[in-house]
Amino acid sequence: MIDYHVSDGVCLLRLNSPPLNAIDLAMLEALRKAIARASGESEVRGIVITGDAEHFSAGADVGLFRQIASADDAVHISRAFQEAFAAVEDSSKPVVAAVAGKVIAGALEFAMACHFRVAGRRARFSMQEINLAINPGAGGTQRLPRLVGPGKALKMLLTAETIGAGEALELGLVDAVCEGDQLIERARELLRSAPVPQKTSRRTDKLGDHAATRAAFDEAEKLAAGMRPEIIAPRKIIDAVKAGLEESADAGLVREQTGFAECMATPAAQNKIYLFFAIRQTSKVPDLAEARPLRVARAAVIGMGTMGSGIVQALIGAGVPVVARDEDEAALAKGTERIQRSIQKRVSQGRLSGDRAEEMLGLVSTTTRWDEIADADLAIEAVFEDVDVKRAVLREIERACRPEVVVASNTSTISLDVLADAMDRPERLVGMHFFNPAQRMPLVEVIRRAETRSDVVATAVGLAKRLRKTPVVVRNREGFLVNRVFLPYVKEAFWLLEEGADAEAIDRAMVDFGFPMGPLTLMDMAGLDILVATDRVLCLAFAWHGPLSQIAIRLVDDGHLGQKRGSGVYKYEKGDYTPHHSPSAQGIVAEVRAGQGRSPREVPPREITERLVLRMVSEAFRVMEEGVAGRESDLDVAMTLGTGFPDFRGGVLRYAHDLGLDRVVGRLDALADKCGERFSPCRLLRERKGA
Ligand code: NAD
């Protein structure tokens, strides 16, 4: 678990717990023993703690969090980490951490407990606990302020900001930076100067400026006030830092333990931890365990529009050479420009080096000819959402490429059966449904037909992972998983609008529920014409969805397509995506209402939230009933990553279970009576009730 090796007066402790060097209780025990042994060996002058050349440690084993059943358990685990790291800090012999890779959360807390830190040039540092809705429990709230000052520390703790090795050196978080392959030598060199061990938790050199400290806490309060009230971690972090500075580091450590226990008891933390594991599980598909993914050395993307150019960017970002084919020269030029601009932006933000950007751009070539995609191992089509166009393109891909090519479609609504029908080798067709913008959105729905070969599905899963995205494998059915579950939610928003609810009130209710934006604003962004076209396909397959509100149809007919036209449900100023009240859209809303004898009415936010969310819940159970998703947790991952469903609620199905399925069915029955059959619970949901 920890390799122990002494040479030239230096004890090298190398974490050896593959694949991630995650820290669990056994490793903490091994650490204490190793430190005690090194302290007792007279020939040892100093200690170096390191991981492997590319990666120090993933931090605390999150599996430990799942074993926590009570506040006592949480305090016990936090204390075990604090005490083991205190043993490192208390060592009478100087201890240097030599770290590389992403040094996150528990790994950074570990490194901060050492007396000195040497980092590889590409190391990156962050405190990510807040992303799991918990506060650090291993001394991070005490040692970070003492190394980088309270202002920067609070910002890192509250926002999970990542900093590079250069900034870490400037701030004093690390003492030296060197090439990754010289880490150990650099650490030894530091020890040769016979440094006096400095206990981080006793340092005060960054704490003297009272005005700056007060300003840091004011800023932290502002940050915390902007966060969700369900997540108590920001409050606990501020309290622990304050106790550490105003009382003592020991008092701060105790506050950290109790804060950690309180955070762990919140549904928000439990839901985020549930999703953390659910995300890691999606690519483990039981019947694909034996399937061998095929090699993808070169890819082709057909259609260089919005999605095609995003997919190209995702591929070159992962080092996959791509040839992009569009039939329109102008589309190729525009797509290339979009990619260049997006990459350039990352360079100017310091998130990508100039060399790396050039390397990426060198991986793309464009063409209008089919024969130039002949070498591709995998071809992704992202042409217009039109059955005939897509069928023709799939046939061309088969004609141009080798018989072994994997053919992926990025269709968002069309059943793959309809497309496979046009192919000579339909068993090589798989869906890879990316989300817009494809270079950033973390989800890829991988869609399999009954006839799709397992190695083809495994190839799509493997490629999505190579692009650092989360693949969720689903069975073929119109709308697949995400669009199918999300569309009823959006349609319900338009129904409420038609019934008299105010557009802004609908959007506000869903933002208050936790979505990043309301459904009407979102549809303006995606395009109301896309909504109408999607519904046209899905309502044929799912009759219970009911019709789309006349408001959406009239808006599209009158050219209010959304942001791209400066006008949708809301009005937009040129170059600005802030939604404003739109008198012309309001005119259409009023006309449709008047035609049905309806007038504006104030709808309570609870009613809005209930109707919209329960439409999703009800459809999600239908997706499970039909076996479209393999696991409930897959559905929860897909909806949180694909639509922005609030992760602190754990996903659509987890939310339903938290409400209680008895209550869900009761409310759906009541809504079915009041609003219509679209709310009727499916067989599976009725069966699961009371289970
Ligand atoms: P788009 O209109 O921006 O781009 C389509 C491109 O395909 C155009 O550049 C067009 O010239 C090209 N094209 C058409 N026929 C071609 C052919 N025979 N050979 C080569 N190129 C051809 O469309 P988009 O928004 O990028 O959507 C593409 C696909 O992705 C659709 O199936 C859509 O449903 C799906 N999708 C879109 C989104 C989205 O938000 N836009 C999200 C997920 C999936």
Q: What is the pLDDT of residue 97?
A: 98
Say how far apart CA 637 and CA 627 lie, in whole Å.
16
* DSSP secondary structure letter of residue 477: -
Identify whether the C-beta of residue 295 lies closer than 8 Å to the C-beta of residue 463.
Answer: no
Residue with tokens 């400026």: 209
Nearest CA to ligand 1 atom 18: 393
Distance 459 CA to ligand 1 centre (A): 23
Buried b / exposed e across 51-81, counting CB within 10 Å, b at 16+? beeebbbbbbbbebbeebeeeeebbebbbbb
Q: What is the pLDDT of residue 209?
A: 85
Q: What is the pLDDT of residue 691?
A: 62
Who's near 364: CB < 8 A, 6+ residues apart?
312, 316, 321, 322, 323, 324, 336, 339
Kindly report, residue by residue over 231-251, the tens digit of the pLDDT: 999 999 999 999 999 999 999
Pocket-testing residue among 302, 307, 338, ligand 1, by greatest number of atoms within 8 A of Cβ: 307
Greatest CA separation for the chain: 92
Pocket-testing residue among 370, 381, 383, 414, ligand 1, by greatest number of atoms within 8 A of Cβ: 383
Q: Give CA separation, 136 vs 150, 208, 258, 526, in Å.
A: 15, 24, 11, 38
Phi, psi torsion values for 424, nearest 5 degrees: -80, -35
Two tokens, residue 577? 């995506």
Taking Cα atoms as reference points, which of 569, 499, 562, 559 lies closest to residue 527?
A: 562
Give the DSSP per-residue string, 356-376: HHHHHHTTEEEES-SGGGTT-
Helix (H) or strand (E) holding 149: none
Nearest CA to ligand 1 atom 44: 412
Nearest CA to ligand 1 atom 14: 383
Q: What counts of helices (H) and strands (E) characterise the chain?
A: 29, 17
Distance 251 CA to ligand 1 centre (A): 59
Identify whether the C-beta of residue 60 lies closer than 8 Å to the C-beta of residue 31.
Answer: no
In the beta sheet, which residues pair with residue 324?
301, 366
Residue with tokens 């999970």: 160
Which ligand 1 atom minimizes the distance to the CA of 526? 40
- Residue 669 burial (CB count, 10 A): 14
Question: Cα angle vertex 428, ends 538, 619, to 5°?
Answer: 25
In the beta sheet, which residues pair with residue 526?
none
Give the DSSP per-residue string, 83-137: HHHHHHHT-SS-EEEEE-SEEETHHHHHHHHSSEEEEETT-EEE--GGGGT----
Identify whether the C-beta of residue 531 lies closer than 8 Å to the C-beta of residue 548.
Answer: yes
Say how far apart CA 351 and CA 567 lie, in whole Å.
34
Nearest CA to ligand 1 atom 31: 385
Say how far apart CA 308 and CA 302 lie, in whole Å.
7
Two tokens, residue 656? 């339903």
Which ligand 1 atom minimizes the distance to the CA of 307? 26
Which ligand 1 atom minimizes the distance to the CA of 434? 43
Nearest CA to ligand 1 atom 17: 327
Note if 504 is an active site residue.
no
Nearest CA to ligand 1 atom 10: 303
- Residue 208 burial (CB count, 10 A): 9
Say how far apart CA 55 and CA 657 lie, in whole Å.
39
Buried b / exposed e across 445-467, counting CB within 10 Å, b at 16+? bbbbbeebbbbbbbbbbbbbbbb
Q: How far is CA 254 from the centre of its chain?
A: 32
Distance 411 CA to ligand 1 centre (A): 9
Distance 302 CA to ligand 1 centre (A): 9
Which ligand 1 atom minimizes the distance to the CA of 325? 20
H helices present in 265-328, as ranges: 267-281, 306-317
Region class of 59: left (phi > 0), else alpha (psi between -120 and 50), else beta = left
Nearest CA to ligand 1 atom 30: 382
Helix (H) or strand (E) holding 676: none
Question: Cα angle vertex 636, ends 496, 387, to 5°?
Answer: 70
Distance 312 CA to ligand 1 centre (A): 13
Q: What is the pLDDT of residue 689?
A: 83
Pocket-testing residue among 384, 415, 446, ligand 1, by greatest number of atoms within 8 A of Cβ: 384
Distance 580 CA to ligand 1 centre (A): 29
Pocket-testing residue among 302, 304, 306, ligand 1, by greatest number of atoms within 8 A of Cβ: 306
* DSSP secondary structure letter of residue 297: S
User: Is the four-CA dihedral 516, 519, 523, 524 of positive or negative sign?
Assistant: negative
Considering the candidates 109, 256, 492, 498, report the single residue annotated as catalytic: 109
pTM, 2 dp: 0.94
Spans of the chain, pLDDT less than 50: none
Using a 6 Å CB cutoff, which residues line ligand 1? 302-308, 325-328, 331, 382-385, 389, 393, 410-412, 434-436, 526
Distance 326 CA to ligand 1 centre (A): 10
Distance 390 CA to ligand 1 centre (A): 10
Nearest CA to ligand 1 atom 25: 306
Distance 336 CA to ligand 1 centre (A): 15
The three-state secondary structure class of 378 is: strand
Identify whether the C-beta of residue 138 lies closer than 8 Å to the C-beta of residue 156.
Answer: no
Which ligand 1 atom minimizes the distance to the CA of 328? 11
Say how far apart CA 528 and CA 142 lie, in whole Å.
51
Distance 298 CA to ligand 1 centre (A): 21
Q: What is the pLDDT of residue 65?
A: 93
Nearest CA to ligand 1 atom 37: 307
Which ligand 1 atom minimizes the distance to the CA of 332? 9
Note if 247 is an active site residue.
no
Distance 493 CA to ligand 1 centre (A): 27
Identify whether the C-beta of residue 63 lies closer than 8 Å to the C-beta of residue 24.
Answer: yes
Strands 176-178 and 10-15, bridge-based pairing: unpaired
Output the 3-class SS for 435-474.
CCCCCCCCEEEEEECCCCCHHHHHHHHHHHHHCCCEEEEE
- Residue 137 burial (CB count, 10 A): 31
The three-state secondary structure class of 481 is: coil
Distance 310 CA to ligand 1 centre (A): 11
Residue at 213: amino acid letter: T
- Residue 267 burial (CB count, 10 A): 16
Taking Cα atoms as reference points, which of 62, 71, 40, 70 lies closest to residue 107?
A: 62
Helix (H) or strand (E) holding 50: strand 46-50
Nearest CA to ligand 1 atom 1: 305
Pocket-testing residue among 412, 490, 524, 528, ligand 1, by greatest number of atoms within 8 A of Cβ: 412
Nearest CA to ligand 1 atom 43: 435
Considering the candidates 129, 398, 445, 610, report the single residue annotated as catalytic: 129
Nearest CA to ligand 1 atom 39: 436
Q: What is the pLDDT of residue 5?
A: 96
The three-state secondary structure class of 691 is: coil
